[in-house]
Structure 1
Amino acid sequence: MSELVRVEVEGGVHRITLNRPEVRNALNRRLRAELTAALLAGHAARVIVLTGAGAGFCSGQDLGDAQGLDEAGFEGVLNGEYVPMIRAITEAPVPVIAAVNGVAAGAGANLALACDLVIAAESATFIQAFTRIGLIPDAGGTSFLPRRVGLQRAMGAALLAEPVSAAQAEAWGMIWEAVPDDRFAAVVAARAAQLAAGPTGAYAALKQALRGAFDQPLEAQLAVEARLQGLCGASADFREGVAAFAAKRAPQFTGR
């Protein structure tokens, strides 16, 4: 891994830091490839944390890297580079936290929204900046955004391309929480530690059930719940959870 992506692993937490602070961590081809590799490596951890170096989380596509692309070129970059990157998040068997430390714009905003839990510093902003340069939201934005905030707010955010503050994003349900800047690092660390100590198998099943819920009628979703709950109910983590509850102690989950 080069200096464009920093990876730190400790206590089951796989922390990935985008490291192009001079351009607010804009996504060029090399960074996209290295980020995808780092995310896939994190599938073997217990939780992944994704954040940005410097003052921004991610300012989206590096426009200098997109110069000269024609219709086929744009489509090829999205299918060949962005799709694997987003899938490395959504298909991760462990929880993925976006720790949004500053501006998240364009594809950077949707990179955050792809994650399971979004925690933002109060000074952070989210901007669907695409129409400012004649584009539509990509990197999964047309899927993630309306599912999180509803069609009208998604339309407004995308059409007007205005910044949405972290506090507003929390109020809309776009993100999990906005926290004061001076507490941001501590809150992210605590959430990551909490998830890293949790029942990893149940988390994987939970992600599968919730991420597929919008695409299925109730009867089909009830069947998914029953199947996945059967797997969870047969796990060592379930037995440990019940034993810990009875003994009034903290459970020691192993992910099995």
Structure 2
Amino acid sequence: MDVWEGDFVYVTGPMQDKIGTVRDVDYFCKIRPSKYERVVAKVDTSLYGEFSPIEHLWVTFQRNSIEKDKMRLWFLSPLSDGPCVSNSDMVPFSLFNLDGFPISSIRAERGEGYYEEDRVVYLSIDKGEGYAIVQGSEYYEVTFIYEDEEIKTIVCNCYCEGHCKHEYAVLLQLQDLVADWAVNFDENYPKQEYFAAIDKTVAWNMNVSRRQKEIIRLTEDSYEGLIIYED
């Protein structure tokens, strides 16, 4: 693959779980393959579309704007473990009544702390299939099914047995976004059956601050929304 100075990449070896920045590219060098750390992925930092700022997130209903396969590389190496699949049946419960979610009170309290600390850094729903990334001691992936205001299943790839604080944080964040009048989820989601949100700080550091052209426009004077134009 072609890489350039400033690109974000992942490599093999001891640093495979860390995102790195290309400092220099030399196409005329001699290497010993046994010592060479190979670049395995270049991160796609492109970002465009219409976004609504809601709390610490930018929200969009435009498919392919910040779809999960691209956004996963903003947080996790392609060599890291992927999401988990649950082998146990779960009784569906209402998103707006978490009393039906089988989680201990201690884990729920910790999950509420994660939610209040804005640790849900990415969240999307694509035709009912939900995916989220939560920042803990490392980044964890949460997958879930959301249909008719119910959570059909939810699982996290952390090492916790049973349901965890990361899942609870995602549920609380999803509650807020679905209910927020500015998101207008019930009207906007059915059009594309797609919804996604990315942490503002992450988006700014990975993309917006690196842009050189005038491609960002606030849609309202009071920072009600913004549009990022594709190059």
TM-score higher than 0.5: no
TM-score relative to the length of structure 1? 0.26
Higher RCO, 1 vs 2 (CA within 8 Å, ≥6 residues apart): 2
Give the TM-score normalised by structure 2: 0.28
